[in-house]
Structure 1
Amino acid sequence: MSQAEDISLVARWLAESESTVLFTGAGISTESGIPDFRSPGGVWTKYRTIYFDEFRQSAEARREYWRQKSEAHVEFSAAAPNAGHQILAAWEAHGVARGLITQNIDGLHQIAGSRQVLELHGTAREATCLDCAARFEIDPLVVQFRETGEVPPCPNCETGRLKHATVSFGQMLPTDVLETAYDWCSDADLILAIGSSLVVTPAADLPVAVRRRGGRVVILNRDETGLDQIADAKLSGGIGATLVAIDAALSR
């Protein structure tokens, strides 16, 4: 089928679905100017990885971690949601979708208006203390780090190890978030996987859970993914433009 025919088909599936789950990866945010960290020139290609155990054990590792995160902060803090984010938020508001599961840490879905959001890898818009579990807005802490070059102390307990509220290499995904994501997918009859390579587990297992339940899998991604073989439809155009087209077909 042509892309236009696939778009019409996906719109019909959305209209017929009783429980649709949205799943997003980095591809939707690159259209807001946020680079994929894995891409050439991305933060992950320029700096060494700070693993979670090293962060916990080494003050120098914590300083290097904050230096890397502070650079990445510049790239996403001024970014705004794009048309794709806005369409997905509208679908939730209008009852077209149950909610949204994301691998992204930039918070753009919430800024666009999405409310039922499961952040598998946490959020870079907050910091958390590993010792007292308090959470804080990240902006003033990044400013403090840039001014002093020292990792800010926890504003609550004063001695705790302060970390961005994201999942680091070697750190487990939040169990409660992952369990809720699987519950959603186990009940879903349709999932739209958008802007994800679908190769990183356990997140990539979520569309498989929908398929196992007998639901449909729609993939919207520019490149091939690890789950193209199970997709009922694969759309490869620009994410924002394609979601706008699906929404227009849905409205008709």
Structure 2
Amino acid sequence: MTDQQLQDLASRLQAFIDRHPRLLVLTGAGISTDSGIPDYRDRQGNWKRQPPVDHRDFVASLSSRQRFWARSLVGWPLMAAARPNGAHLALAALERQGHVEQLVTQNVDGLHERAGSRRVIDLHGRSDSVICLGCGARLERDPLQQRLARHNPAYCNHSADAAPDGDADLELDFSAFQVLDCEHCGGILKPDVVFFGDNVPRPRVEAALSALHRADALLVVGSSLMVYSGFRFCRIAATLNKPIAAINLGRTRADDLLSLKLEAPAAAVLDRLSQIA
């Protein structure tokens, strides 16, 4: 993409913001790829790899939990080391300028908060937090990572390609992996994120919908919207006659609802926007 093309895209986005100065911003995995975190889908919205762990399998099956935590032991350091990129920083700047009514992210990496955004709803939770499904106790992921490593030193020697959300493309015999349970009640420990097959907590959805009603328009950044938990906001925005803009590489589930679509890397467009704003 040429510098002039990038400038034109940023100018079109700026014009959209000028017409609709209060935005509900919805972000997906595509905003974090420039931070080194892989995304889930290709330009056609199809899975690049096997879908993530299913909530019911994780709860019901020890072998599922062994596979998840062993792969996560290898993949978590990438998530922990990730830093905000230009897209995260630009959205934080838009918030300081008064243009972000609310930011709703489908990501679990916490990069919006690290970039300085304050009005953030982590729709699917945060991977740096762990919850006990028995007693509800919460703990930070980093100390648990250290405990997992101490109990499973052999698995620390493995390397694998990074996968989304702290996973790793690791395939081997996981039957010897020692899963850690809650130190308080012995319950199942799970990252405090919404796995596939689980439901987004209703208060988060209601807070996001309330912000959508207050906003002038919806801006989607880096999401194919193939997951309904994000797509629903486009459907509702359309019924409210609120314009929708999207920055995404490839098709989205809401292409027929968009007032503006910028098919380009989110970081490049938003970083350029911050230069002309």
Cα RMSD for the two superposed structures? 2.2
Correspondence 1:144-159 to 2 at 5 A: 144-149=147-152, 150-155=178-183, 157-159=184-186
Q: TM-score, normalised by structure 1?
A: 0.88
Aligned partner of 2:146 in structure 1 is 143
User: Within 2, Cα distance between the matches of 1:32 and 1:151?
Assistant: 29
SS at match of 1:237: coil
User: Over residues 19-73 of structure 1, what are the superposed CA-to-partner deviations in whole Å (9 max), with x where a residue is unaligned?
Assistant: 311111111100111111456xxx9836x85422232233333222211222331
Number of the residue aligned with 1:219 = 246
Q: Is the 8 A contact 2:23 2:101 kept in 1?
A: yes
Of 7, 20, 23, the residue aligned with 2:10 is: 7
Residue 222 of structure 1 aligns to which amino acid in structure 2?
L
User: CA contact under 8 A between 1:105 and 1:124: conserved in structure 2?
Assistant: yes
Q: TM-score, normalised by structure 2?
A: 0.80
The one-letter code sitting in structure 2 at the alignment partner of 1:137 is E
* Superposition deviation, residue 77 in structure 1: 1.2
3-state SS of 1:99 partner = strand
**Partners of 1:24 and 1:121 in 2: CA distance:** 11
CA contact (8 A) 1:15 1:96 kept: no
Aligned-partner SS, 1:142: helix
Q: CA offset at residue 193 of structure 1?
A: 0.3
Q: Mapping of 1:31-70 within 5 angstroms?
A: 31-38=34-41, 45=49, 50-70=53-73
* AA partner of residue 9 (structure 1): R
Alignment of 1:19-34 (within 5 A): 19-34=22-37
CA distance in 2 between partners of 1:3 and 1:226 (Å): 24
Say which is worse superposed, 58-67 or 225-234, in terms of deviation.
58-67
Which structure 1 segments of 5+ residues have no match?
none
Structure 2 runs not aligned, ≥5 long: 153-177
- Looking at structure 1, the residues matched to 53 and 32 of structure 2 have their Cα atoms a distance apart, in angstroms, of 24
1:18: how far off?
4.8
SS in 2 for 1:204: helix
**d(CA) in 1 for partners of 2:144, 2:248:** 35
Moved over 4 A (4+): 2-6
**8 Å contact 1:186–1:209 — kept in the other structure?**
no
Aligned residue runs from structure 1 range 1-252, under 5 A: 4-38=7-41, 45=49, 50-149=53-152, 150-155=178-183, 157-249=184-276, 251=277
Q: 1:80 deviation in Å? A: 0.6
CA contact under 8 A between 1:8 and 1:246: conserved in structure 2? yes
Q: Are the counterparts in 2 of residues 83 and 240 from structure 1 also a CA contact under 8 Å?
A: yes
**What is the rounded CA distance, in whole Å, between the counterparts of 1:9 and 1:44 in structure 2?**
31
